[in-house]
Amino acid sequence: MDRKVIGERLARLRGRRSQMEVAKELGISDSALSAYENGERTPRDEVKVRIAEFYKTTVQAIFFDP
């Protein structure tokens, strides 16, 4: 899956919440979340799971589905 597409999905899921707020809930830095949303980095598997749980969806839906 293309990192840019994943980043767009993550930004859309975040909605109106700030990156700082979501990053704090996920236990990651806001710069890491920004890098994920900008398609610069892909989170490690354990972070993918936390992200999916936070947004009440699946890792598959965010990171692998077309």
Q: Which tens digits make up the pLDDT trace of 12-51? A: 999 999 999 999 999 999 999 999 999 999 999 999 999 9
3-state secondary structure (DSSP) of residue 27: coil
pLDDT score at 1: 79
Look-up: residue for tokens 């354990």? 46
41: tokens are: 């980095």
Amino acid letter, residue 11: A
Looking at residue 17, what is its pLDDT?
Answer: 98
In contact, 54 and 22? CB cutoff 8 Å: yes
Q: What would the two tokens of residue 64 be?
A: 């692998």
- Domains with residue ranges and CATH for the chain: 3-63 (1.10.260.40)
Residues in the chain, total: 66
